[in-house]
Amino acid sequence: MPGALEGIRVLDVGLLVQGPQAGLLLADMGADVIKVELPEMGDHARWIVISEDDLRGVYFHANNRGKRSVTIDLRTASGVDIFKRLAADADVVISNFKPGTMESWGVGYDDLKAINPGIIWGAGSTFGPVGPDSDREGADLAGQAAGGLVSTIGHDGEPPTPVGATIADHCASQNLAAGVLAALVSRGRTGEGQRVDVSLLGGQIWAQASEYTHYLLTGEVPGRGTYGHPLLRGLYGLFQTQDGWIGIIGVPLDDQDAFFIAIDQPELALDPRYQGLLASREDMRELFARLNPVFATKTTAEWGEIFTKAGVRWAPVRDYSEVAQDAGAWENGYFQKLDDGRGGEVAVVPAPITMTGTPLVPSGWLPELGEHTDEVLQGAGYSAGDIARFRAEGAV
């Protein structure tokens, strides 16, 4: 079946995660994504390797499957001309340089709109396209730190710590893809393209909209998670078991008695301090302290069996190796083994979206730097002689 974005062409000029992951989502949806990289250097993600002995770049692998790689130096006049010719027939351009960079090269939104009024120009930045910090560079940690996420991680009284994943980049990439998709729908009605801007900072604020709304309404900073969530004061949090950790995912008021009976603590059901979702934080801290020794008496699996029978929502705290062995994750397609296009097989993390009419079709193959330069440029009307001249000039 054709993908939802069959016939859509994307020029992906992104680096690392924020731009490329948005491009990957569009590729999995069926778009033809041309990854534009700097000659000889390529996307910086190619150089974040596993080790000195294993030169695979995991960030590049994770975010650039199924794209065609073209090398173009946008700092050269010929490179700009080539890019503009490609943009004339493209639907979308994605980048995540510092604001003003694409404009300085002559390939900003206004430049491309002049030759292709239907172009959708999507840009990701760190702090947003305007404002006092707009010209500052950054990366994932900047979004986590400046966006407030770091202040919520960990436990009261301990030093701050970031999330151990590029979560700010991921949130921004999903926002960028969503904006591009909405712009494509709008263009279908009006025929006009538009500029789409997202940022790491904006993505983190949006991802914490409920918590920020609490602050905006009350003036109170929610604070650290401390084994749970600062705004959810019921039985919602993590407990250490005999062999690991388990999450209790909120116990509704009508089910609290069943929960306390399941953990063999029926007397707690009679304590008025622990009734209701408005119990004080101090009371919740005391309750968690009383429950910790109880949870330590059984394994996570044993507690899981008990809670499943009692109808209590729970989840094990797992590391990546445990999640990657989850049969359900594979059955739902959250992990897949795909043909790598070179006679082998590779395990990948595809977009976790299922569509019945236009299913996503992730690719396992990864482009070598500049692998499709000749193919794409010839498709744009350049001759072999033109391409040889561009290479001599360092434009491709």
Residues recognised as catalytic: 169
Contacts of residue 159, defined as CB under 8 A and 6 or more positions apart, other chains included, come to none
The phi, psi pair for 228, rounded to 5°, reads -150, -130
Q: Are strands 228-229 and 232-240 parallel, antiparallel or unpaired?
A: antiparallel
In sequence order, what are the residues at sequence separation of 6 or more whose Cβ sits closer than 8 angstroms to the Cβ of residue 359? 1, 3
Residue 54's Cβ-count burial label (10 Å; 0-12, 13-18, 19+) is exposed
Partners of residue 194 on adjacent β-strands: 120
Distance from chain centroid for Cα 300:
29
How far apart, in whole angstroms, are the C-alpha atoms of residue 333 and residue 335?
A: 5
Strands (DSSP E) found in the chain = 9-12, 32-37, 68-71, 92-95, 120-125, 194-199, 228-229, 232-240, 245-249, 314-316, 336-339, 345-348
The H-assigned helical ranges of 299-396 are: 300-310, 320-323, 327-331, 373-379, 384-393
User: 361, 287, 395: which is closest to 31 by C-alpha?
Assistant: 361
**Which pairing describes strands 9-12 and 32-37: parallel, antiparallel, or unpaired?**
parallel
Please compute, for residue 363, the number of CA atoms within 13 A of its CA located in the half-sphere on the CB side: 23
What would the DSSP string read from start to end of 212-253?
HHHHHHHS------TTEETTEEEEEEEEE-SSSEEEEE---G
Question: Residue 116 carries which DSSP code?
Answer: -
Which burial class, exposed, middle or buried, applies to 381 when counting CB atoms under 10 A from its CB (0-12, 13-18, 19+)? exposed
